């Protein structure tokens, strides 16, 4: 029986996979060219790690090899040493091993043209270079410049067919995480002849087909709600999806293959995926997220006041996008940033929370009477927030001494309070059989905390108070979200710098939404 597989290369004989025929055909047509006798295109193939770039291009190679008109090679350019000499040796050695014939040594960038001349190739060459962006910025720029020269020299011989041109490099594909080339080059891209080809995530239909394939082979049912949830959490990111699929069906969690994989099974697997299992791809993303200036940018995205516009021209935004930390939300008026998937957003949230507040401290005195806030079967969210406000006021100097601040006005970033509240609640409920976890229903900055206590579920929607208009909208939005959670009531928590007793009495009035019937209970928490 096949397996879900998330590391190394997908083998179509033993792993579940998606054919991705449309994507393969598009890359094939680009390399072949609109009119193959005139030449193909020079393209960049890019996407986050484990997005299936290499697999797609190997499928393209197989398709190209069905014809005898071209010589086709796919080489890996990854090297522990990045110098002109080493990289040129790597390229020549790769061609030698691939084609099983000798090629002349190349001593400098200038000699690159002779390597691809008619002396070494009797037929037009289609070359694919994998891991290209691992070579480093300087080498990338120099190689890209030389490839551009080769492309231009072929264009200068446009009256000749592809196989008659002095340079036999018919087409070129450069594979990398970033859309190589020149993104980080302040002088502009030296490779402006290329066509960009991003590798998108899998669609819901593609993800659905993989799990139904597993059902047919194994005889074990995967409930549709589980498939829906897997797609939602991963947004079809191939490596992450296959990894979660691995965990769902392996024996560690899937003990009885005669029973369907249901949401109880999923929730246990997901708990381990979030906190208890290593994943190199996620570890790499979190490592990048902790580096400046990218951490500050990601913290900015956790703010709830408004969405952040997406601009590919912004180097920080493009870096986060290329590395799979963020995605794009299209609205009629503009493009906005969203996190790449709920799973990634949750892992980032947990990581940043622990980084900022390794020691949360004592959240209440052991002799405190908590009966006005919590019993074994009930929870008063308003009083819980009052206790949190007191805790924050008493510990503010210690907690927020090194907190990240906005560059615009030097105020503490909003996300800091979200992280702190989350860890406060975890500590507050430590002695209870309760569950606290964050939810990110939009993929943008919106954050909700779900508390399961005493057999009941409580929803806390977190916002920053921005004025009357935002307040009115937040009431309606909270009611809609409460309806989605099948809750009769939901707490709407507003963080604010200050509030008078008069305004607290005015704005903390309960709101019954006419359309949903959900009761919204606003609570203000002063953070100033």
Largest CA distance in the chain: 90
Residue 17: the pLDDT is 94
User: What would the pLDDT profile of 343-368 be if each residue is shown by its tens digit?
Assistant: 999 999 999 999 999 888 899 999 99
SS3 at position 379: strand
Query: Domains in the chain: how many in total?
Result: 3
Bridge partners for 197 per DSSP: 45
> Does the predicted TM-score (pTM) go above 0.95?
no
Distance CA 386, CA 262 (A): 39
Residue 137: domain span: 21-198
Residues 134 and 54 in one domain: yes
Could you give the 3-state DSSP secondary structure of residue 496? Answer: strand
- Within-domain flag for 212: yes
The answer to the question of residue 418 being in a domain is yes
Pair 27, 174: CB distance under 8 Å = no
pLDDT by residue (tens digit) across 191-249?
555 678 889 999 999 999 999 999 999 999 999 999 999 999 999 999 999 999 999 99
Tally of CB atoms within 10 A around 451: 21
CATH number at residue 108: 3.40.50.300
Length of the chain: 528
Domain check: are 363 and 271 in the same one? no
Same-domain status, 391 and 459: yes
In terms of domains, do 421 and 473 share one? yes
Q: Which of 39-48, 70-79, 173-182, 227-236 has the highest mean pLDDT?
A: 227-236
Q: Are residues 356 and 395 in the same domain?
A: yes
Of 237, 259, 277, at which residue does a domain stop?
A: 277
Rounded Cα–Cα distance for residues 479 and 490 (Å): 7
Positive/negative CA dihedral, 361, 367, 371, 372: negative
Of the candidates 277, 312, 335, which is a domain's last residue? Answer: 277
Q: Which residue has the tokens 């939009």?
A: 442
pLDDT tens, residue by residue, 9-34: 889 999 999 999 999 999 999 999 99
């Amino acid at each position: 029986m096949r397996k879900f597989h998330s590391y190394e290369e997908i083998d179509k004989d033993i792993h579940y996979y998606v054919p991705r025929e449309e994507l393969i055909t598009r890359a094939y047509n680009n390399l072949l060219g609109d009119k193959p006798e005139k030449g193909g295109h020079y393209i960049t193939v890019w996407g986050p790690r484990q997005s299936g770039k290499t697999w797609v291009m190997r499928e393209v190679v197989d398709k190209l090899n069905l014809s005898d008109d071209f010589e086709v090679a796919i080489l890996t350019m990854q090297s522990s040493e990045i110098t002109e000499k080493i990289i040129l040796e790597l390229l020549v050695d790769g061609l030698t091993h691939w084609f099983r014939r000798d090629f002349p040594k190349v001593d400098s960038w200038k000699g690159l043209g002779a390597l691809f001349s008619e002396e070494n190739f009797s037929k037009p060459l289609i070359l694919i270079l994998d891991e290209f962006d691992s070579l480093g910025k300087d080498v990338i720029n120099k190689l890209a410049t030389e490839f551009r020269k080769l492309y231009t020299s072929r264009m200068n011989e446009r009256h000749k067919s592809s196989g008659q041109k002095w340079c036999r490099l018919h087409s070129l594909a450069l594979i990398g995480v970033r859309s190589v080339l020149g993104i980080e080059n302040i002088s502009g891209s030296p490779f402006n002849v290329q066509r960009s080809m991003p590798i998108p995530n899998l669609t819901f239909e593609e993800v659905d087909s993989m799990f139904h394939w597993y059902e047919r082979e194994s005889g074990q049912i995967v409930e549709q709600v589980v498939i829906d949830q897997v797609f939602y959490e991963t947004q079809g990111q191939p490596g992450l999806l296959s990894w979660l699929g691995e965990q769902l069906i392996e024996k560690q969690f899937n003990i009885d293959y005669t029973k369907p994989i249901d949401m109880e099974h999923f929730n246990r697997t997901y708990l381990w995926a979030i906190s208890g299992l290593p994943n190199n791809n996620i570890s790499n993303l979190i490592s990048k997220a902790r580096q400046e200036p990218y951490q500050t940018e990601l913290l900015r995205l956790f703010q709830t006041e408004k969405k952040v516009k997406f601009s590919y021209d912004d180097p920080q935004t493009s870096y986060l996008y290329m590395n799979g930390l963020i995605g794009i939300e299209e609205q009629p008026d503009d493009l906005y940033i969203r996190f790449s998937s709920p799973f990634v957003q949750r892992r980032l949230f947990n990581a940043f929370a622990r980084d900022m507040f390794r020691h949360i401290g004592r959240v209440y005195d052991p002799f405190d009477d908590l009966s006005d806030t919590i019993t074994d079967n009930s929870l008063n969210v308003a009083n819980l927030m009052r206790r949190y406000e007191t805790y924050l006021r008493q510990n503010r100097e210690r907690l927020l001494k090194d907190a990240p601040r906005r560059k615009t006005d030097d105020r503490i970033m909003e996300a800091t309070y979200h992280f702190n509240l989350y860890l406060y609640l975890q500590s507050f409920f430590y002695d209870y059989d309760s569950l606290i976890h964050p939810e990110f229903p939009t993929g943008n900055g919106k954050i909700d905390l779900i508390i399961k206590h005493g057999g009941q579920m409580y929803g806390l929607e977190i916002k920053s108070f921005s004025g009357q208009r935002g307040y009115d909208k937040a009431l309606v939005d909270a009611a809609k979200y409460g309806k989605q959670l099948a809750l009769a009531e939901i707490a709407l928590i507003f963080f604010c710098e200050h509030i008078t007793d008069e305004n607290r009495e005015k704005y903390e009035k309960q709101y019954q939404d006419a359309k949903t019937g959900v009761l919204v209970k606003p609570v203000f928490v002063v953070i100033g």
